Structure formats: structure tokens, C-alpha cells
């Protein structure tokens, strides 16, 4: 109820900071864990990893990977951070998030606001030094910077992927946001193929350098495609290395 009477974006930010603050103290972490641990395990295998349940955090909530310890205490089986772009950007002018009370939902026009891949890389580096490898699969949602042209989009996605590769378990190529001008144009064959080819080049290079395996790459598409468009996109994505 306290959050309900605040502006929705401020409520989002304060909830995130509250979780981050609680996770810094072991009594609060214990309380979160006790209240949110699963009573039943529902393990599933997906893209080479076993998840304790099918339930995790989607992108958009923790864009900058700020509350990683907190999400663990909530019992989530995976955490997706982002969308993260190569360059830091502030997103669309405020207000840009609105409550849709009758639908019990939110209208989001954020515009890929995030601190940029270099800042997120530094945060994940610090987490790894202090706490080790993240204990559940960490997904990274890749977006395109607003200042990057469509012709250079593949380099924008690949740069972010290269910077965050050591920390991620799964990458999600986001070509579906309606809040970045012309982003959905990258769902066509040429744009999507360039992005996937460049990301897979980085994926293979980083795997070779670390003597590890390539990371799964997924594609996030718009929800309003026709069945024919969706089938064509899936075939194109699969043919060029998407999982």
C-alpha cells in the first residue's frame, strides 16, 4: 500500500533499493529466504543448465544488476538483467511508466534506460571478486543504444556481449522494444542475421579464450507478429545460431 500511492517509476526504484539494502545484512537475508523458499522443487533442463523451477526474473526490473544478492534470497531460479546497451543512456522523458489499474498492469515507455555495458561490467566484476560465481543462471538482455545507427547495430550488441560474456549464462538479443526508434526493423532478415553472426563470432572467440563452452543465445521478438512472420523469424534465427 505504501508503494501504491507513489509514482510507479519511483516505486520501482525504491523497491529495488530496498531489496539491495536488505540483502546487505544477514538477518534480513535470512528473513527473505525463510519467507520465499520453495516448498516444492520443479526442476527443468533448459539450454544445457538445470533450473530448480521454471520461475525467474525477467529483464526490465533490475536493468543494471544492482540487487543480485537480493534476488537469490527470493528463491528465483534465474535472473535476467538489462536491457543493457553499449552506451549509457537515460531513456525517454518522464513520466514514462503508468499504472493500468483495470488490467492490474503497467504501461512502460522507459526507452532502454541503463548505465551502459562498461558500468554493468564493473559491477559484475566486483560481485565476482566478493562473492564468486553467481549461483543461479544469470541472463543478460542485450539492447541497442539509441545513438547507434541500424547499420552499426550488430557492433553495439556484440560489444555489450563481449564485455559481459564472462558473467553471463544466457544472452537474450532484444529486437522487440517499441521504445527505441526503428529497433523492430532489426527483426527483418538482414538486421537479425548481422546481429546473430556478430554475436556468435564474439561467443566463439570468448569461449576459445576461456577454454569454455559457447553461451546460449536467445532472441526476444515483438508480441504482435503474425504467425507467418514469427515462423519466418524463428527459422532465420535458428539458421544463424540462436538457441
What are the residue numbers of the active site?
177
Do 180 and 85 touch, CB atoms closer than 8 A? no
Partners of 220 in beta bridges: 174
Burial of 19 (0-12, 13-18, 19+ CB in 10 A): buried
Nearest to 142 by CA among 125, 127, 156: 156
Dist. CA 219–CA 232, nearest whole Å? 13
Residue 211, phi-psi category: left (phi > 0), alpha (psi -120 to 50), beta (remainder):
left
Dist. CA 67–CA 16, nearest whole Å? 7
List CB contacts of 118: < 8 A, sequence separation 6 or more: 88, 163
Do 121 and 159 touch, CB atoms closer than 8 A? no
Q: Which helix (H) or strand (E) holds 137?
A: none
Amino acid at each position: 500500500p505504501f508503494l501504491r500511492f507513489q509514482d510507479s517509476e519511483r516505486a520501482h526504484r525504491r523497491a529495488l533499493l530496498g531489496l539491495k539494502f536488505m540483502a546487505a545484512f544477514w538477518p534480513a537475508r535470512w528473513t527473505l529466504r525463510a519467507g520465499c523458499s520453495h516448498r516444492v522443487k520443479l526442476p527443468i533442463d533448459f539450454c544445457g543448465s538445470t533450473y530448480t523451477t521454471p520461475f525467474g526474473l525477467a529483464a526490465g526490473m533490475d536493468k543494471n544488476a544492482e540487487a543480485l544478492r537480493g534476488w537469490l534470497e527470493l528463491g528465483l531460479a534465474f535472473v535476467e538483467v538489462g536491457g543493457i546497451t553499449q552506451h549509457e543512456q537515460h531513456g525517454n522523458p518522464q513520466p514514462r511508466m503508468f499504472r493500468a489499474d483495470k488490467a492490474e498492469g503497467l504501461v512502460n515507455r522507459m526507452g532502454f534506460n541503463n548505465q551502459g555495458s562498461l558500468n554493468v561490467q564493473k559491477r559484475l566484476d566486483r560481485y565476482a571478486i566478493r562473492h564468486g560465481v553467481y549461483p543461479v543462471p544469470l541472463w543478460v538482455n542485450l539492447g541497442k543504444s539509441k545513438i547507434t545507427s541500424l547499420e552499426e547495430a550488430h557492433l553495439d550488441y556484440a560489444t555489450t556481449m563481449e564485455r559481459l560474456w564472462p558473467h553471463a549464462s544466457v544472452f537474450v538479443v532484444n529486437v522487440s522494444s517499441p521504445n527505441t526508434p526503428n529497433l523492430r526493423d532489426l527483426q527483418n532478415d538482414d538486421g537479425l542475421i548481422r546481429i546473430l553472426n556478430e554475436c556468435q563470432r564474439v561467443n566463439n572467440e570468448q569461449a576459445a579464450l576461456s577454454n569454455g563452452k559457447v553461451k546460449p543465445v536467445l532472441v526476444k521478438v515483438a508480441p504482435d507478429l503474425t504467425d507467418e512472420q514469427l515462423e519466418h523469424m524463428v527459422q532465420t534465427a535458428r539458421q544463424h545460431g540462436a538457441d
